[in-house]
Amino acid sequence: MKLTFSPISQTTVERLMPIELACHSHPWTEKLLRSCIGGRYFGSYAELDNQVVGFYIADNVVGETTLMDICVAPDHQGQGFGTKILQHYFAQAKQRQCTTGFLEVRASNHSAKMLYINHGYIETGRRTGYYPKAVGYEDAIVMCKELS
């Protein structure tokens, strides 16, 4: 069993949407996901035995990258796939000559925050009331990492 990565394309979006829908309380729409393919955006999905286990989407603007979306299928969480997907993202960002990485994470998403902290991200700010919840909004934690 070998984990393989392939670039996200318009033809693979249908395979990613079930994971997006399962991972987020307020998931991206298919239209939004499709709009983040090509141009300044890059992303890959991870497969194990022809089953998609996760993916990421990022952008690249003048040497800075933002991890915009990262998902691991619920039945594959807690098995190290998040780390492998994040490492793939770092390698792709470096190939694109990005030197700094940013992301935003829900303040309540403790497992994701720990994943990012364990990979060198530091908290640099907070966006008050950024993410919608079932009732109201919650803060986003802004994090940064030097990639060089």
Give catalytic status of residue 47 as yes or no: no
Output the six-digit token pair for 49. 């035995």
User: Which ranges of 25-109 does DSSP label H, i.e. alpha helix?
Assistant: 30-35, 81-95
Query: 11: which residues sit within 8 A by CB, 6+ positions away?
Result: none
Place of tokens 């249908």: 14
Q: Which of 45, 89, 116, 121 is catalytic?
A: 116
Tell me which of 104, 121, 131, 138 is the catalytic residue.
104
| Rounded distance between C-alpha atoms, residue 35 and residue 28, angstroms | 11
Pinpoint the alpha helices (H) of the chain.
13-23, 30-35, 81-95, 110-118
Say whether 116 is catalytic.
Answer: yes
Residues with active-site annotation: 104, 116
